[in-house]
Amino acid sequence: MAEIVRIANIAAHVGEQVTLEGWLQLKTGKGKLQFLRVRDGTGFIQAVIFKPNVSEEVFEAAKRMPLESSLIITGNVKADERAPGVPGGFELDVTDLTVVQESEEYPIAPKEHGVEFLMDNRHLWLRSSRQWAILRVRARIIRAMRDWLDDNGFILVDTPILTPSAAEGTTTLFKTDFHGEDAFLAQTGQLYNEANIFAFGRVYCFGPTFRAEKSKTRRHLQEFWMVEPEIAYCKLEQLLEIEEQYVSYIVQTILKECAAELKLLERDTTHLERVVAPFYRISYDDAVQMINKAAGEGVTVPPNDDPLPPIEWGGDFGSPHETFVASQFDKPVFVHHYPSAVKAFYMEPEPGRHEVCRSADLLAPEGYGEIIGGSERMSDPELLLAAIDRHGLPREAYQWYIDLRRYGSVPHSGFGLGVERTVAWICGLDHIRETIAFPRMLGRLRP
């Protein structure tokens, strides 16, 4: 048997005889020729079996072999500009083939399928080239997210998943049992991050978060991953500069390093190429004016071209409002200084104008919505206590959190960036369900 190589490294073996270990992705036959598309996890390559070049048994086995059969295949590597695959341009002239397991009839055919069928077969759907590309981009995005923070003075401090209290709304918590006491799956690590900055200055947590929202849309999961940086001695203005540097780095890294995957996904990258700091900034006040002007003119918004509803000052933006505001800009836009009443209790009020808070959401272009929520945090213990009371939250559960403001409180800020929404945006996906291997959605716990 020849040297075992991986498809990603095939270019280094042109003219050599090599062995690949993989699976049969696709097959077309033509008399004495069989074209096999073979996948080994690192890429895809076309293997050509010409009947006179192999034994009778090998040719018959190749002809009979169903899709997704596992196989070990040996042949000569040829460069050919026209050959399909990832990386394309190479072909394997087969000399020998061993079927490791002949697959049963594979349910997912190389044709269109419905969403429910594909989701029921998610454990198999992952093998398709499109899902392969998406999940590789996801992995690279996560690496970029962590690289930038690690290289810019942030330290990873993991925060708990089992928590005794809510950080935000209480209606969207998954409840579990902690030896007889109610416990909840974390919606965020932020409150713990705020403790950690006093030890480390700049920290981040990265992990799964859980929201039992009754949301069934293309942008929602019940379980999603989030990176949450938190920074001591940081005001809102400085926070936005960090955010735009951060997002620019992630997008530009993917453009550079996942070009093959984005091409396979047929992603038009012209929008992404523009994602370079600085981003746009618009206040909530101005955004409301912009929305109401457009609503008065009868502007409609995708996906259903419904009329844009007007908004009263003080209300939170609905999905159509976000979509409209984002569509007015050719790269991401910050909407800052939301009304305090519609935001979480811990956001710092604007001095001299307490009805708005020092918060900012980052809206991605192309209708992908809010990918970052961030704010300056309340640093005054008295104001914080009042806010906790106003939101009807139990003081005792937040005692330690209030404590942070009693021992060397400083201005500090942080944000949360959703991994799946970022993946959907960068890959140009219609639905968030493809951005994670096994999505947990309303009404979908398995596979």
- Determine which residue in the list 42, 46, 69, 163 makes contact with RNA, applying CB under 7 A: 46
**By CB under 7 A, is residue 91 in contact with RNA?**
yes
In sign, the C-alpha dihedral spanning 395, 396, 397, 400 is positive
**Nearer to RNA (CB atom), residue 117 or residue 178:** 117
Candidates 422, 314, 321; CA nearest to 368 is: 422
**By CB under 7 A, is residue 373 in contact with RNA?**
yes
**By CB under 7 A, is residue 28 in contact with RNA?**
yes
- Determine which residue in the list 1, 139, 199, 342 makes contact with RNA, applying CB under 7 A: 342
- Determine which residue in the list 141, 221, 234, 325 makes contact with RNA, applying CB under 7 A: 221
Residues 6+ apart with CB under 8 A from 48: 33, 34, 35, 36, 91, 92, 93, 94
Residues 6+ apart with CB under 8 A from 307: 295, 298, 299, 300
**By CB under 7 A, is residue 443 in contact with RNA?**
yes
**By CB under 7 A, is residue 256 in contact with RNA?**
no
**By CB under 7 A, is residue 421 in contact with RNA?**
yes
Positions in 397-416 near RNA (CB under 7 A) = 416
- Shortest separation between residue 406's beta carbon and RNA, angstroms: 26
Positions in 170-189 near RNA (CB under 7 A) = 172
CA distances to 16, 169, 225, 227, 302 from 417, in Å: 46, 19, 9, 5, 24
**Nearer to RNA (CB atom), residue 338 or residue 398:** 338
- Shortest separation between residue 205's beta carbon and RNA, angstroms: 13
**By CB under 7 A, is residue 66 in contact with RNA?**
yes
- Shortest separation between residue 59's beta carbon and RNA, angstroms: 12
Candidates 265, 206, 168; CA nearest to 418 is: 206
Helix (H) or strand (E) holding 271: helix 270-273
- Shortest separation between residue 118's beta carbon and RNA, angstroms: 7
**By CB under 7 A, is residue 84 in contact with RNA?**
yes
CA distances to 136, 148, 151, 217 from 246, in Å: 20, 7, 11, 27
- Determine which residue in the list 114, 180, 298, 408 makes contact with RNA, applying CB under 7 A: 114
- The verdict on whether omega for the bond into residue 52 sits within 30 degrees of 0, i.e. cis, is no
**By CB under 7 A, is residue 262 in contact with RNA?**
no
**By CB under 7 A, is residue 119 in contact with RNA?**
yes
What one-character-per-residue DSSP string does 144-158 give?
HHHHHHHHTT-EE--
- The verdict on whether omega for the bond into residue 411 sits within 30 degrees of 0, i.e. cis, is no
Tell me the window of 16-24, 167-175, 261-269, 399-407 that interacts with RNA (CB under 7 A). Answer: 167-175
- Shortest separation between residue 170's beta carbon and RNA, angstroms: 11
Work out whether strand 17-30 and strand 3-4 pair parallel, antiparallel, or are unpaired. parallel
Longest dimension (CA), the chain: 86
- Shortest separation between residue 211's beta carbon and RNA, angstroms: 5
- Determine which residue in the list 15, 115, 351, 406 makes contact with RNA, applying CB under 7 A: 115
Q: Are 326 and 343 in contact (CB under 8 A)?
A: no
**By CB under 7 A, is residue 116 in contact with RNA?**
yes
**By CB under 7 A, is residue 214 in contact with RNA?**
yes
Dihedral (Cα; 273, 278, 283, 287), 10-degree rounding: -20
Q: Are 277 and 252 in contact (CB under 8 A)?
A: no
**By CB under 7 A, is residue 26 in contact with RNA?**
yes
Count of residues binding RNA (CB under 7 A)?
Answer: 75
What x/- string results for residues 299 through 328 when contact with RNA is judged by CB under 7 A?
----xx-x---------x-xxxxx------
- Shortest separation between residue 159's beta carbon and RNA, angstroms: 15
Candidates 91, 88, 72, 75; CA nearest to 24 is: 72
**By CB under 7 A, is residue 352 in contact with RNA?**
no
Tell me the window of 3-11, 103-111, 151-159, 396-404 that interacts with RNA (CB under 7 A). Answer: 103-111
- As separate numbers, helices (DSSP H) first and strands (DSSP E) second, the chain gives 13, 22
**By CB under 7 A, is residue 55 in contact with RNA?**
no
Candidates 26, 116, 34, 30; CA nearest to 69 is: 26
- Determine which residue in the list 388, 418, 426, 434 makes contact with RNA, applying CB under 7 A: 418
CB-count burial class (<10 Å; 0-12, 13-18, 19+) for 168: middle
Positions in 125-164 near RNA (CB under 7 A) = none
